[in-house]
């Protein structure tokens, strides 16, 4: 039940809360060890905010984030600091996320120093060189500055920095969106290799459904701060249930039309409504071609339709609780 609302205030001396941006509104899902969960949706749907709230880079308004049995939202700061080793992030923009005045060695080595992993300069250099090799960069690049690298190389540096502390869980926030298409595949392949090698778990955030299809085991779709559908990759792409997911997929070419049935085409009209005053009931009702009366009044709960394929939409039955067997 993770909630992340950003208050909107008015007044200078006496700030009065006048509303809230409901960026993430009561979302619940699991991420299993070793898997990649893709998180997709249009920009502004709350996916990056969700990723940051999970990592406690934003303090969630309410809800829990359970990591290996412990609620991160309740950890004292010192314990959370130690926990950070296991939870890392790769940012979207390799141009903006690397300090231009720091050498690659300092950028990648900083977390190692902060967490006291290395004891001297020599050890730092060795570890940085090893990390550079891991991400496919020449270890002798350690003395160079970010501007001396291409976009793809910079993202490799960002990945090396995220890996420095040997984390187990990484939020990748649109890690390839800023890169040329020709480079995107290389970075995605690198991330997959590293996942195998270090048994990493990824939350892979993206708006590009083709990239997500390639890398994810399961996929969650977000709309206006809500999760509207979650399923394993194949069932989401072959048999999308939510009208919003269908609309998103309408825009993506089908890899093999012989194997995959032709999708119903849904063209979305109108803009995404504001997360300050989201629509009542189902938040998608202002754009949904199948809207019914109930959609405007009641929010549809995320309901498992079988095999872990869940959807939040009144077009689908709410599964009844399994009947208790009489003894």
- Tell me how far, at minimum, the Cβ of 305 lies from ligand SF4, in Å: 13
Pair of tokens at residue 192: 């997959």
Burial of 121: CB neighbours in 10 Å, binned 0-12, 13-18, 19+: exposed
Minimal distance in Å, beta carbon 138 to Mg ion?
Answer: 31
- To ligand SF4, the closest distance from the beta carbon of 300 in angstroms equals 5
d(CA 2, CA 63): 4
DSSP assignment of 16-76 equals EEEEEEEEEEEE-----TT-EEEEE-STTSSHHHHHHHHTTSS--SB---EETTEEGGGS-
Among Mg ion, ligand SF4, none, partner that 8 touches (CB below 5 to 8 angstroms by kind):
none
Selection from 94, 89, 99, 98 nearest residue 178 by Cα: 94
Q: Which of 202, 201, 196, 151 is nearest to 172 (CA)?
A: 202
Q: Does the footprint of Mg ion cover residue 97 (CB under 5 A)?
A: no
CB of 296 to ligand SF4, least distance (A): 8
Which of 6, 38, 31 shows the shortest CA–CA distance to 21?
Answer: 6
Q: Which residue stretches of 135-253 are H helix?
A: 151-163, 181-198, 209-215, 233-238, 243-250
> Using CB distances below 5 to 8 A depending on partner kind, what does residue 314 bind out of ligand SF4, Mg ion, none?
ligand SF4
**Rounded to an integer, what is the distance from CA 32 to the centroid of its chain?**
14
Q: Which is nearer to Mg ion, 109 or 175 (CB)?
A: 175
CB of 225 to ligand SF4, least distance (A): 14
Q: How far is the CB of 49 from Mg ion (least distance, A)?
A: 8
Closer residue to Mg ion, CB minimum distance, 22 or 48: 48
For ligand SF4, the binding residues (CB under 6 A) are 242-243, 282, 284-285, 288, 290-292, 295, 300, 313-315
Nearest distance in Å: CB 299, ligand SF4: 9
Only one of the segments 43-51, 80-88, 176-184, 186-194 lies at the binding site for Mg ion (rule: CB under 5 A); that segment is 43-51
Q: In this structure, how many other beta carbons lie within 10 angstroms of the beta carbon of residue 103?
A: 17
Q: Which of 158, 243 has the CB closer to ligand SF4? A: 243
The yes or no reply on residue 48 touching Mg ion (CB under 5 A) is yes
292-296 contacts: CB < 8 A, separation 24 or more?
none
Q: Is 201 in the site for Mg ion (CB under 5 A)?
A: no
Measured from the CB atom, is 91 or 314 closer to ligand SF4? Answer: 314
Q: Which does 288 bind (CB under 5 to 8 A by kind): ligand SF4, Mg ion, none?
A: ligand SF4
Name the packing angle between helices 151-163 and 181-198 (round to 10°): 20
Give the one entry of ligand SF4, Mg ion, none that residue 48 binds, where binding means its C-beta sits below a cut-off of 5 to 8 angstroms depending on kind.
Mg ion
Residue 183 buriedness (CB in 10 A; 0-12 / 13-18 / 19+) = middle
Which 297-326 residues touch Mg ion, going by CB under 5 A? none
Nearer to ligand SF4, 126 or 297 (CB): 297
Which residues are at the interface with Mg ion (CB under 5 A)? 48
């Amino acid at each position: 039940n993770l909630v992340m609302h950003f208050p909107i205030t008015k007044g200078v001396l006496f700030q009065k809360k006048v509303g809230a941006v409901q960026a993430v509104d009561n979302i619940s899902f699991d991420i299993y060890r070793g898997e990649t969960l893709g998180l997709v949706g249009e920009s502004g749907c709350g996916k990056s905010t969700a990723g940051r709230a999970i990592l406690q880079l934003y303090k969630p308004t309410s809800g829990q984030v359970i990591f290996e049995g412990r609620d991160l939202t309740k950890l004292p700061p010192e314990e959370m600091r130690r926990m950070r080793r296991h939870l890392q992030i790769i940012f979207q923009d390799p141009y903006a996320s690397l300090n231009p005045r720091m050498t690659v060695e300092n950028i990648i080595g900083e977390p190692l120093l902060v967490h006291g992993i290395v004891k001297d300069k020599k050890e730092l250099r060795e570890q940085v060189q090893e990390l550079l090799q891991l991400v496919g960069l020449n270890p002798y690049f350690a003395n160079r500055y970010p501007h001396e690298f291409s976009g793809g190389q910079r993202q490799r540096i960002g990945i090396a920095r995220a890996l420095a502390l040997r984390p187990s869980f990484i939020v990748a926030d649109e890690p390839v969106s800023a890169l040329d298409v020709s480079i995107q595949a290389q970075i995605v392949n690198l991330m997959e290799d590293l996942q195998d090698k270090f048994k990493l778990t990824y939350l892979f955030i993206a708006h590009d459904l083709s990239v997500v299809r390639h890398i994810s085991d399961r996929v969650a779709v977000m709309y206006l701060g809500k999760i509207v559908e979650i399923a394993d990759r194949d069932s989401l792409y072959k048999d999308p249930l939510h009208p919003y997911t269908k609309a998103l997929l309408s825009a993506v070419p089908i890899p093999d039309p012989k194997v995959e049935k032709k999708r119903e085409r849904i063209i979305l009209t109108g803009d995404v409504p504001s997360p300050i005053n989201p629509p009542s009931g189902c938040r998608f009702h202002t754009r949904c071609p199948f809207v019914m009366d109930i959609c405007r009044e009641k929010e549809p709960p995320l309901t498992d339709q079988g095999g872990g394929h869940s959807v939040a939409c009144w077009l689908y039955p709410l599964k009844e609780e399994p009947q208790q067997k009489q003894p």
